[in-house]
Every structure is written in C-alpha cells, then in structure tokens.
Amino acid sequence: MKTKLTYREVLHGASSFLESQHLDGYVAERFLVERQGWTKTDLVLHLTTEIPTCVQQQLEQDVADFVKGRPVQHILGYEWFYERKFNVTKDTLIPRPETEEIIAKYLERNQEQPPLTVLDIGTGTGIIGITVKRERPEDTVTAIDISPEALQVAEENAQILGADIRFLLGDLTEPVGQEKFDRVISNPPYISEAERPLVDDIVLENEPHLALFAENDGLLIYQRLAKELPSLMNPAGEIILEIGFQQGAAVKALFMKAFPQAQVEVEKDLSGLDRMIYVQLP
C-alpha cells in the first residue's frame, strides 16, 4: 500500500527539483499557497498533514509549466499589487514591486489635497489608475493605453476591483486632446535596444515588447511626453514617471527644458537606484 505524502514532503521535493534546474525553489511554495488561498501560517499548520492527490497534481503541473519558461503570474493568471489581485495576460506587463513605490509616493505627497484629475498613461493591467482610484476615490482618473488587448484587461480589473475609471485607447496623450489634469502618472517603456541582452529570457519571451522597449536609447517616450504634457497640465500640477536606473539625468534634463519654471527631482527606489522623476509645476 502506497504511503500518503505530507505537504512538507511534496513541497520539499518540488523545491529541490526547481533548484536542480537552477530556478528559485521558493516558487513551489508560492504556487501551493496561492492555489489554496492560504497565508504562510496556514501552510505551516498543514505541513505535517497528508496532501490530497488533486493538490499534489496541481503543484506538479504548475512547477512543470514554470520550468518550461512560463512566468508564475501567467500560470496563476494574476499578480498582487498594493494588496489587490490584478489579472495579467501575455498582452500586459507583469506588475512589479518598484511601481508600488510610485503609488506610495503619490499618496504621501497628495494626502492633504482636494479631489484631483489624474491621467495614467500606458496603463497596462490598470495597476496605477485603479490603485489611485481605490486609495483616493474622490480623484477622477483617466487611463490610456495603445494596446486594445491590454486595455481590455485593465477594464476587467477595474470592474472586478470596483474602480470607476475612464479608459481610452490611443497613443500617449492623443486621446485626451486639450483636456487639463492635475496629476500625470506613467510607467512607460524605457528599455533600450542596447540593454536587450540584460533582460531575462522569461521576460523577453512572455511580456509585450511594446511595453518594454523604446527607441532613442530608451528615451523616446519621455521625449514625447516632455513635448505633449505642457499643454495638458493645470497650474501646480505634478508629473510622476518611472524611469530606468540609468536614465535619471537624461530624463531630468528633458523635463527641466520642457517646464523651465518647475521643480524637477530624481528619486531613488528602496534599492538605492534612480527610479522616479517628479515634476512639480508652480
């Protein structure tokens, strides 16, 4: 008679297998916790109990898919961002922790502000616009993306998460014409072609290059925004942009020229790398 295995035994086997493939063994634990809807405490409490066959089979399938090069988020179908679950697909950029820092800074800088009009450019899964709306329901949020497939994912996420946002299809600021905004937030594509060899294969093979790469050494979108945004900003407006860690000086120069009366700052992320540009208008 075959002996039933415990959660600990199966998890150890899955983690060891991933490590033997030079992959992160912790991913096996994440699959198990996410599929069961558990906390880490729940997992600890179950470690010595027998694992149901269906749970073991699901874990083995998830691990096999991951070894084949599929991202965890595509296997699960979602990623967490600011403690909310966002659906992701191959048509959207996978949400990253660095972008959460933009939201945290936005909320910190604007906690005493009255209702604001906010423009999210290149919304992707909708993480920025939706999170802003959920955290500050009084703000009026417009989100734009050039990809109809990505925009559909963002609209679905907004509906699921109860965020009343206006979504527009188009190229950067083109869909909003001459409207005015108090805040503009964007995480645009900023990887240069020269940096392509530095990008992990799992990213290159699974995420949309439209959301990753930009021409002109990765600066094209910043160059365009520096030209397009001056006519869209209200007095005392603010622009918050995520940047590549080597782009701080170049992007700062672009926006100092576009907004000569504004205060333009480069801020670092929690890893100490240049990550955000803030343009504070007078």
Contact present, 264 and 252 (Cβ < 8 Å): yes
pLDDT at residue number 193 = 75
Helix (H, G, I), strand (E, B) or coil at 58: helix
Do 190 and 270 lie in one domain? The reply is: yes
**pLDDT tens digits for 251-267?**
999 999 999 999 999 99
Q: Percent of the chain beyond pLDDT 90?
A: 83
Contact present, 275 and 268 (Cβ < 8 Å): yes
Q: Is residue 170, in this structure, part of any structural domain at all?
A: yes
Average pLDDT over residues 81-90: 96
Amino acid identity at 246: Q
**Listed residue (225, 234, 227, 226) closest to 117, CA to CA:** 234
Contact present, 98 and 273 (Cβ < 8 Å): no
Do 29 and 141 lie in one domain? The reply is: no
Do 42 and 156 lie in one domain? The reply is: no
Which of the two residues, 199 and 277, has the higher pLDDT score?
277
Q: Is the pLDDT of residue 197 over 90?
A: no
Q: Is residue 1, in this structure, part of any structural domain at all?
A: no
Do 221 and 128 lie in one domain? The reply is: yes
Give me the domain span that covers residue 133: 90-280
Do 107 and 51 lie in one domain? The reply is: no
What are the residues facing 161 on neighbouring strands?
none
Domain count of the fold of the chain: 2
Do 110 and 237 lie in one domain? The reply is: yes
Pull the structure tokens for residue 4: 């039933």
Do 156 and 207 lie in one domain? The reply is: yes
Helix (H, G, I), strand (E, B) or coil at 61: helix
H helices within the chain, ranges in order? 7-20, 26-36, 40-46, 53-67, 72-76, 97-109, 127-135, 148-161, 201-206, 215-218, 220-228, 248-258
Q: Is residue 40, in this structure, part of any structural domain at all?
A: yes
Average pLDDT over residues 17-40: 96
* Separation of alpha carbons 196 and 192, rounded Å: 7
Helix (H, G, I), strand (E, B) or coil at 279: strand
Do 62 and 96 lie in one domain? The reply is: no
Q: Is residue 267, in this structure, part of any structural domain at all?
A: yes
Confidence of residue 4 (pLDDT cuts 50, 70, 90): confident
**pLDDT tens digits for 222-243?**
999 999 999 999 999 999 999 9
Q: Is residue 85, in this structure, part of any structural domain at all?
A: no
- Specify the range with the lowest mean pLDDT, choosing from 175-189, 196-210, 223-237, 253-267: 196-210
Do 152 and 51 lie in one domain? The reply is: no
Do 122 and 197 lie in one domain? The reply is: yes
Do 100 and 205 lie in one domain? The reply is: yes
Q: Is residue 80, in this structure, part of any structural domain at all?
A: no
Q: Percent of the chain beyond pLDDT 70?
A: 99
Q: What is the CATH number of the domain that holds 135?
A: 3.40.50.150
Do 201 and 272 lie in one domain? The reply is: yes
What is the average pLDDT score of the chain?
94
